[in-house]
Amino acid sequence: MPDKSTREEFFPEVYEIVKQIPFGKVLTYGGVARLAGRPQYSRMVGQAMFNAPADLHLPCHRVVNHKGGIAPNWPEQKELLIEEGVTFKKNGCVDMKKHRWNTELLLE
């Protein structure tokens, strides 16, 4: 587990990335971690989302797991995504082919 100073440095980076996810798009925890330059920290992205200060008004609902799965104990997440036009497959996961935010240009 990364130490407190790493979290204090990493969480704000995560929040800056999440702010940029466009309306109607999603990004995976791993995608956020890669953009932050720490691809091994995808679980820590989840911690950052859970601990995000409400006053930042982050679109945390746009962060999903690698399969497009949403948080199991947050039913509002799906509602918020649907309101943005995000579609789901029969298995309940976001249709990642349609809605994954293409960050390739950001990584160059």
Q: How far apart are CA 83 and CA 47, in angstroms?
A: 25
Return the structure tokens found at 88.
């789901």
Q: What is the distance between the alpha carbons of residues 86 and 73, in angstroms, rounded to a whole number?
A: 19
Taking a C-beta distance cutoff of 8 angstroms, is the pair 21, 62 a contact? yes
- Please confirm, yes or no, whether 93 is among the known catalytic residues: no
Given 18, 27, 45, 60, the catalytic residue: 60
Return d(Cα 5, Cα 25) in angstroms, integer.
Answer: 31
Sign of CA dihedral 80, 84, 89, 94: negative
Q: Residue 26's beta-bridge partner residues? A: 100
Q: Tell me the catalytic residues.
A: 60
